[in-house]
Chain A
Amino acid sequence: MEVKDTTHSGHDVDHGHDDHHHEHHQTFLTKYVFSTDHKMISKQFLVTAIVMAFLAMGMSMIFRLQLAWPDQTFPFLENIIGKWGKDGKLDPGFYLALVTIHGTIMVFMVLTGGLSGTFSNLLIPLQVGARDMASGFLNMLSFWFFAASSLVMFGSLFIEAGPASGGWTVYPPLSALPQAIPGSGLGMTLWLVSMVLFIVSALLGGINYIATVINLRTKGMAMTRLPLTIWAFLITAILGVLSFPVLVAAALLLVFDRSMGTSFYLSDIFIGGVPLDHTGGSPVLYQHLFWFLGHPEVYIVLLPALGLASEVISTMSRKPIFGYKAMIASMLVIAFLSFIVWGHHMFVTGMNPFLGSVFVFTTLLVAIPSAVKVFNYIATVWRANIVMTPAMLFAIGLVSFFISGGLTGIILGDSALDINLHDTYFVVAHFHIVMGSSAIFGMFAGVYHWFPRMYGRMMNKTLGYVHFWLTIICVYAVFFPMHFIGLAGVPRRYYANTAYEGFDQLININELISVFALLAGVAQVIFAINFFYSMFKGKIAPQNPWKSNTLEWTAPVEHLHGNWPGEIPTVHRWPYDYSKPGAKEDYIPQTVPHSATPESNRPGDF
């Protein structure tokens, strides 16, 4: 690509009129639609993810209405979901579809595609000092596969029999047999198509991220000088590349079972009054394959959020991140362990109890690097000099959720305790806090922090604060009480919790949860308004609004294809020289050589 040409720096240095830099004229189509520029692609990912997130959140609001007020009718439902909400009553089959699609969209489209797609794309080239991704074309394909996948998933909502409804994990035989549940017909086919498109997107993206981080770092950007964001994105991409193909395999075998009469997952089934011919398969095989992706997926969602939070916390604390190397090491350990813990989702599948104990062991080991990360965050804010921007608040919220949700994982990872809590609301509470809320808070921190870099404008702070406080209160109010429901023995994915009379005393908790869930929705509307309004009308951003050290803030505010006019800056130090004793200011950007800061150099800096 022409933009890689860095030698003609002579006439580029003055960038007062930068139109001379990029010869090619971009049309609307090449600039905003089929763009190969990583900054534009990152914005495409972000906006798509925001739209999908609102869709999935809207679904959760509908099923929360049902769970809190099972005896009431909501006539407006018929306007929104048509025949599935006849007479204002949510259809039990469609309830399961909502739960399924809510989970799928949130996990894959929002927290995987949205989070990695947005921030890996935006930050990898800008923070390692590259003109663009290793392959701009593959990057563009990555987004368009993602868009296609989102569209197919969205489209599956409109078919006659309804979308996939076997839960986001789509275990066969339920997902393989349309006789078992209406959603396993065309809806399930579309789900599988959407997932395969999504995985193509994730792989194209992941390969690109890895190649860029490894090959395109600027002069002086050693691996040990990478910001933690980049480490997190790199490890995430490796996890994705190694685990997503296994999900393709699982999905492919499911396609064969569904439409070609094979028996990979099916055996000895009598349904709809007739015995089926399938024999010799095992439904548990699917679960092994699914969770071999499914567990690394948790960290594919979480690690980028932790990376973003590390960067935001360090910058806004005006203090180096505590234990930089320990942070990298714990991410590597978490990533490694994430491949050998999948069985903890399967303690009650009839798996050999001895195999179960191996998974208990590896699972609880994950708590050690996680604990190290938490302690390091707390050590970073200790004796810091904290500027409370909305991004910082969201990063703190992330750490709080990571603690709250991570700790209950210790209980669920213990097979002897899990057999009573498996698939109850305790699990729902656990993963919504540790994976869902942590990751989405990391994403919010990222959006507030890097919005000036994306759009050249600032977001409104006051609305950011309102958004943060409403959201953190609502998240805790929604998910914390679910622990109690789980400990009372209520299974998840129940259309009505009143089926067993012991559960009807819990209806008050369900009402509380639903009220706050609706309020949380309102809070996100505030975010959306702030986001789209600031995009066009926000205050113009200064060059380096957060006084940050990393490279992306040295690139001009107005976007250039190629990021820097002239030469790419050279890196001379690690990214966390904040509040260095003796320095003139409380930050020293990575581009400042040690020879320029004799007053603050320390032994070991060279």
Chain B
Amino acid sequence: MNFLMLLATLLGILVVIRLMNVVQLASVLSGEDEEEEQKRHNTMNGIGMILFMVLGLGLMVYMTFKYMPFMLPEAASAHGVETDFLLNINFLVIGIVFFITQIALFWFVYKYQHDKKRFALFYPENHKLELIWTVVPTIVLSALIVTGLREWNKMTQGHPKDGMVVQVYGYQFNWIARYAGADNQLGRSFYKLITDDNPLGIDFSDPAAKDDIITKANEMHLPKGVPVQFQFNSRDVIHSAYFPHFRTQMNCVPGMNTAFYMEPTITTAEMRGITKKEKFDYVLLCNKICGVAHYNMKMKVVVDEPADFKAWLQGEKPAVPASGPSKVANTASANAETNSL
């Protein structure tokens, strides 16, 4: 098998070398001089340029429409609707520039082929032209910067401070979500408190932890129309909590709290109607390389009507076991403020 592959490769190389010799010989035999040969090459490559441009741009447009149905469905979060709009504006702007510049480039290369009877235009500079194509991109980019930053500031700072607090906790290779409960405050946690029964290392002596609720299975729920204040943490390496359908992503960094604010606007049931897929589900994916099973680190996300969400939350696990506080090793909890809210 190996020997055959080697033989085939060698034969292939020999064939190419023979072809090279034949082509070289043919051009010598035909008496074609170098200039004529280059002229023929110019014509053929010029035609190639035009064909490539037309077919290439055509295929790009065709593929864009063909694959449109496979792209992410409409954004399921309040800010996502706005960023999608912004994305489309950006695509429009860069699309226009893309078509103009690519067509000009390939068209000029085709059109101005070499002719030994003439000179090219000696045109080393034109300050007015250069000024125009410095200033116009500056204006367009300023507009894009301003609109982009306005959206960025709005989604990162311009939101109410009283969203429902949810912690998303990543570890190799799974996710846990913790809900802050009635007091909307997460109990302190510390990585040295982590045990099999206490995967988040929660300090059971902290009163704020008493009403915290942890997801039982690999599934988290969010209420529709309720702003959520996410807090992200990791126990081992960097993970990234990526909610593609909500257009949100934030890294989970060990030893650090990161945060993101978001408001889901479409329930899972509604989205199934929109996408016409009965099995559609939102998903939370890990999007920062985190180890061998990185590609399998995911969690199902369900958006419910607020009433259904409450009912679901009742069925999940309390963060502090019934007999909880007595089990805590108090020496460790003294250090617990490191990772508190």
Which A residues have a C-beta under 8 Å from some C-beta of B? 76, 79, 92-93, 96, 166-167, 171, 173-174, 177, 180-182, 266-271, 275, 279-284, 317-326, 348-350, 353, 356-357, 360-361, 364-365, 367-368, 371-372, 374-379, 381-389, 393, 396, 399-400, 403-404, 407-408, 410-411, 414-417, 419-420, 422-424, 460-463, 465, 469, 472-473, 476, 480-481, 484, 487-489, 491, 493-497, 499-502, 505-506, 509, 525-526, 529-530, 533, 539, 576, 578-581, 586
Contacts and interface: CB of A to CB of B under 8 A. Distances in A.
Nearest to A413: B148
Contacts of B101: 374-375, 378, 403
Contacts of B109: 381, 386, 388, 396
A403 B94 CA distance: 10
B125 A325 contact: yes
27 contacts: A92-B295, A180-B290, A180-B291, A181-B291, A268-B338, A284-B253, A319-B120, A322-B123, A349-B251, A361-B145, A381-B112, A382-B121, A385-B119, A386-B113, A388-B109, A389-B38, A396-B105, A404-B98, A411-B91, A415-B149, A417-B83, A419-B247, A462-B20, A489-B245, A491-B287, A491-B295, A499-B298
A493 B338 CA distance: 33
Contacts of B2: 79
**In this complex, which of A96, A173, A491 has the most chain B Cβ atoms within 10 angstroms of its Cβ?**
A491
A382 B105 CA distance: 8
A236 B248 CA distance: 36
A275 B120 contact: no
A372 B134 contact: yes
B292 A92 contact: yes
Most buried by A among B56, B138, B238, B296: B238
Interface in B266-300: 279-280, 283, 285-296, 298
Contacts of B80: 420
Nearest to B288: A423
Given A268-B338, A396-B109, A416-B151, 16 more contacts: A180-B237, A180-B291, A181-B291, A269-B235, A269-B255, A318-B114, A368-B138, A383-B123, A385-B113, A417-B86, A420-B87, A420-B248, A472-B52, A499-B296, A581-B122, A586-B119
Contact of A529 (B16, B83, B94, B126): B16
Contacts of B245: 489
Given A269-B191, A322-B125, A403-B102, A353 B156 contact: yes
Given A356-B152, A411-B87, A419 B255 contact: no
B153 A579 contact: no
A335 B123 CA distance: 27
Given A396-B105, A396-B109, A384 B152 contact: no
Interface SS majority for chain B = helix
B1 interface: yes
A399 B324 CA distance: 65
Interface string B226-268: 0000001001111010101101111101111111000000000
A171 B338 CA distance: 23
B244 to A, nearest CB: 3
Contact of B153 (A280, A326, A353, A509): A353
Contacts of A526: 16
B154 to A, nearest CB: 9
Given A348-B240, A416-B83, A502-B283, A275 B191 contact: yes
Nearest to A350: B258
B63 interface: yes
B115 interface: yes
Interface string B167-206: 0000110000000000000000011101000000100000
Contacts, number: 362
A322 B138 CA distance: 20
A348 B240 CA distance: 8
Nearest to A100: B289
Contacts of A269: 191, 235-236, 254-255
Nearest to A418: B249
B215 interface: no
Contacts of B295: 92, 491, 493-497, 499
Interface in B84-104: 86-87, 90-91, 93-94, 97-98, 101-102, 104
Contacts of A580: 122
A350 B236 contact: no
B45 A388 contact: yes
A506 B70 contact: yes
Contact of B201 (A270, A416, A420): A270
Best-buried of B38, B44, B249, B256 by chain A (most CB within 10 Å): B249
A283 B239 CA distance: 12
Contacts of A480: 60, 63
Contacts of A173: 236-238, 254
A576 B153 CA distance: 48
Q: Of residues A96, A180, A385, which shows the largest number of chain B Cβ atoms within 10 Å of its Cβ?
A: A385
B137 interface: yes
A324 B124 contact: yes
Contact of B172 (A167, A271, A284, A494): A271
A461 B254 CA distance: 56
A571 to B, nearest CB: 18
B283 to A, nearest CB: 6
Nearest to B253: A283
A522 to B, nearest CB: 9
